[in-house]
Amino acid sequence: MNNVLPDNFDTDNTEFQDALKLIQHTNSSVFLTGRAGTGKSTFLRYICQHTHKKFVVVAPTGIAAINAGGVTIHSFFKVPFRPILPDDPDLSTQKGRIFDFLKYRKSHTQIIKELDLLIIDEVSMVRGDVLDFIDRVLRVFTKNMNQPFGGKQLLMVGDVFQLEPVVKRDDWQILRRFYPSPYFFSARVFKQIPLVQIELKKVYRQNDDTFVNLLDRIRLKQAGNIDIAAINERFNPGFQSPIDEFFITLATRRDTVDYINDSKLEQLEGHEHEFTGRISGEFPESGLPTLKELVLKENAQVMFVKNDMEKRWYNGSLGRVEEIDEHGIYVRLQNEEIHLVEKEVWRNIRYKYDEKNNRIIEEELGSFTQYPLKLAWAITVHKSQGLTFDKVMLDFSGGAFAGGQLYVALSRCVSLDGIVLKTKISPRDVIVNNEVVAFSKAANNKVLIEKELNKAEAQDLYKNAQLHFDAGNFNDAVHSFALANEKQEALSVESVQRMIAIKLSKITQLEHEVKELNAAIKRQQKNVQEFAREYYLMANECLLKFKDKPSALGNFNKALQLKPQFFDALVKRAGLHVEMGDLEGADKDYSQADKLKRKSYQVKYNRGRTRLELKRYEQAYNDLLQATQIKKDKAEAYFYLGVACEKMGDMQKAAEYKNIAEHLGFDE
C-alpha cells in the first residue's frame, strides 16, 4: 500500500501523536480539528491505512464523502430528513419500531455490530440531533444500550470555524427546545462522555506564512483593515475564465451561481433544450432542487442533485452533457461512463411538532418532478468545503451570511496569488459564532488526553487479568486488576484484593461443573453415533435381504441426519441414488464424502462415473484422473478416463488411457 502522507508531513508533531495514540490505543471519542490545510484529511487517510480497527468513513455531503473515501451519513444510517428529538417514537425499541423505521439489511446490521471505529469527516456541518441519532442507532443495533455510541469509538474530523450546519428556521424552532446550538458538539450524548478535542497546528496547504497568518486572523475574527485590503488587492471584476477550462467559481449566493452557470451555457454552441418540471400541489420555487425550467446544451457542465439508486452517481457528482435526444439526456461522468438520466421526484413536506405526543409529524404539501441535474460551472462556498484548488474565483456579491464562509472560500486556494475576486470583501464578511469560540478553547487539554490514555491502559490490564482468570492464575489476575485500578480507579487496597480472590475462587467449582457437562455431551454424542450406525446397518439389510431400495434410502437419510459426516453412509446412499436414477443426488453425496476423505479412490472413481452420465465431462475427467493417481493399478479408472477424453474430443489421450486399461486387464 502506498504511503498516504505527503513528503513534508511531520508525523512526530505533538498533536498528531496525541491523536494517533488516542485512536489506536483507546476507545475515546476524538474531535480532530485545525485550520484549513493542517492535515486533517491526511490524518484521516493515515488512520484508514494504519489502524488495526474495523472502521467506516461517513460525511454529511456526497462530495465530502467521496473526498474522504467513504459514504454519506444519510445513506449509511438512513437518517431521516427532519429534526430528530430525544425520545423520538420512531427510534423506540418497543414492538420493534426502530427496526421497522430504519429497515436495515441483515448485512448492514452486521457491519454496525462489527464496527470498531466510526469516522465522521466534515463534522462541522453535522447537527447535534444527528449525532444523538447515531448514538441511538449504535446502542440499539449493537445491543449495548448502556454505553454511548454502543461502545464504538468516534473520530470526528473538521473545523467548527468553517461552515456551520444548515438548519431551516422551522426546524430550529423545534430543535432549540432541546439543544443550545445546532452544532454537533451540542449533542446530548457528550454529557455522558468526554469529547477529547485535538487541534492540529502545523499548516501544509499554504507555504506562504503571510497568507497563513492572514487566514488565521480571518478564522478567529481578528482580521484588521490591512488584512481586508490585502485580500482586496486580488479584486479583478473584468476577469473571464476560458470557456473550455475547468475554472471554479465559489459564491455565497445561489442566484450568483445561477447567473454564472447561465452565462457559461449561453457561450456554448448548439441550440438549447428546455425541460419543464412538474409541480403537484404546493412546492415553493425557492425550495426546488433544480430549475423548474431546466435549460441545457450539449457539452454543458452539470452536477447531479440526487443520489442514484443504482449508485452510478451521487448528489454532487459532476458530468458533461454528451447528447440530448428523444430518449432523454445522456451524461458523461468524470469516470468517462455515459448514462441515460431519467427524471426523479422530490416531495415538499412540512414538519409539525405534536405537543401532546412529543413527536414530529410530517405533512406532504406537494411534489416536484424533473431531471436530477443542474448547471455547474460555479458552486456555492458551502459545497466547496474540504476541497483544494489552484485557481479560484470568489464572488461574494451580497456578502457572507453564515459563520466561516469567507474563511472557507479563501482557504480553498493554495496561495493568495491564485485567487481572483469578482467582488470586494468587507469586515462584515468575517462571521464567527460565539459558541464556536467557546468550544474551541477546550482543544489540546493535556490532562484529559492523559486521563483517556490511562483509562485505555487500564482496560488492557483488565483484559490481561481476564486471561489470567481463564488460565486459573488468580494471583496474577488480582495483581493485574490492582495495576489497572491504579491507572483508572484506586482499587489496590489489600482487603479488596482478598475479597476479589475469594469471589474468583468459585471459578474452580464452575470449571468442575463444566467438565461434567462436557463429559455428558460426549456420552450423548456417542449414543447419537451408535443410533446412526444402527440406521446404516438397517439400510444395508434392506438392500441385501429384501431388495427394498426406498426403505434403504429412508434409513440412510436418518443415519445422515444424526451424523451428517458419516462417510460410509454418504457413499452407500450415493450408490443407491445412482441405482434409482437420481444422478444429481449421487453427485451431491459423493462431493460431501470427498470433503471428508480427499484421497478416497472409491469416491473419486464413482463420482467420475456419475459425472460422465451427467455429461459433465471436464469434472469427470478430473475425478478419474485423481482416481488413477490414488490407485495406479485400477484398469476401470483408466478406461473411463479414456471415455471422458473421447467426450471432450481428445482422441489421442483417449487411446493412451484405454491402452493402459487393456494392459491392466480391463475387459469391456
Give Dmax over CA atoms of the chain in angstroms. Answer: 109
* 199 contact partners, CB below 8 Å, separation of at least 6: 15, 33, 34, 440, 443, 444
Mean pLDDT over 405-414 rounds to: 86
pLDDT in the model for residue 242: 66
State the chain's mean pLDDT as an integer.
Answer: 83
Judged by average pLDDT, the poorest of 83-92, 308-317, 361-370, 487-496 is 487-496
Provide the pLDDT for residue 649: 93
Beta strand spans in 510-599 (E): none
Contact 384, 412 (CB under 8 A): yes
Q: Grid coordinates standing for 235? A: 479584486
Kindly provide the residue ranges of all beta strands, DSSP E only, lying in 422-525, ordered along the sequence: none
How high is the pLDDT of residue 249?
86
pLDDT band at 195 (very low <50, low <70, confident <90, very high): confident
State the pLDDT at residue 485: 64
Phi, psi angles (nearest 5°) of residue 666: -75, 135
Which pLDDT value is given to residue 221? Answer: 83
What integer pLDDT is reported at residue 461 of this predicted model?
66
Query: Letter for the amino acid at 374?
Result: K
Residue 534's SS3 state is: helix
How far apart, in whole angstroms, are the C-alpha atoms of residue 482 and residue 473? 15
Over 60: is that where the pLDDT of 223 sits? yes
Better pLDDT: 259 or 638: 638
Distance CA 602, CA 588 (A): 15
Q: How confident is the model at residue 142 (pLDDT cuts 50, 70, 90)?
A: very high
Q: Cβ neighbours of residue 509 under 8 Å, at least 6 residues apart? A: none
Contact between 612 and 644 under an 8 Å Cβ cutoff? The reply is yes
Q: What whole-number percentage of the chain has pLDDT above 90? A: 38
Residue 256: band (very low, low, confident or very high) from pLDDT cuts 50, 70, 90: confident
Q: Answer whether residue 208 shows pLDDT above 90.
A: no
pLDDT of residue 640: 93
pLDDT at 621: 93
Q: What's the rounded Cα separation, in Å, for the pair 42 and 48?
A: 10
With cut-offs at 50, 70 and 90, classify the pLDDT of residue 504.
Answer: low
Instruction: Give the distance, in angstroms, between the CA of residue 218 and the centroid of all CA atoms in the same chain.
Output: 35
- What pLDDT, on the 0 to 100 scale, is given for residue 614? 93
pTM above 0.95, yes or no: no
Among 150-159, 383-392, 421-430, where is mean pLDDT lowest? 383-392
Q: What is the 3-state secondary structure (H, E, C) of 634-658?
A: CHHHHHHHHHHHHHHCCHHHHHHHH
* Residue where the block lists cell 452420465: 613
Q: Give the model confidence (pLDDT) of 552-607 as tens digits.
A: 999 999 999 999 999 999 999 999 999 999 999 999 999 999 999 999 999 999 99
From CA 340, how far away is CA 149, in angstroms rounded? Answer: 41
Q: Which of 326-340, 372-386, 402-416 has the lowest mean pLDDT?
A: 372-386
How many CB atoms neighbour CB 655 within 10 A?
A: 13
pLDDT in tens, 444-467: 777 778 777 777 666 666 667 667
Q: Is the pLDDT of residue 474 over 70?
A: no
Question: What per-residue confidence (pLDDT) applies to 493?
Answer: 39
Assign 627 to helix, strand or coil.
helix
Tens digits of residue pLDDT in 303-337: 787 878 888 887 667 788 999 998 889 998 868 89
Supply the pLDDT for residue 258. 80
Edge-to-edge order in the sheet of strand 419-421: 378-380, 248-251, 392-395, 419-421
Cell reading at 36: 484549513
d(CA 5, CA 12) in angstroms, rounded, equals: 13
Average pLDDT over residues 164-187: 91
- 461 or 655, higher pLDDT: 655
Whether the predicted pLDDT of 238 surpasses 60: yes
**Residue 352 predicted with pLDDT over 50:** no
The whole-number pLDDT of residue 437 equals 82
Predicted pLDDT at 26: 85
Among residues 400, 443, 36, 40, the alpha carbon closest in space to that of 215 is found at: 36
- For residue 281, CA distances in Å to 177, 287, 347, 352, 367 come to 31, 14, 10, 18, 7
The whole-number pLDDT of residue 650 equals 92
- What Å distances lie between residue 77 and 59, 61, 103, 131, 135, CA to CA? 11, 13, 10, 11, 11
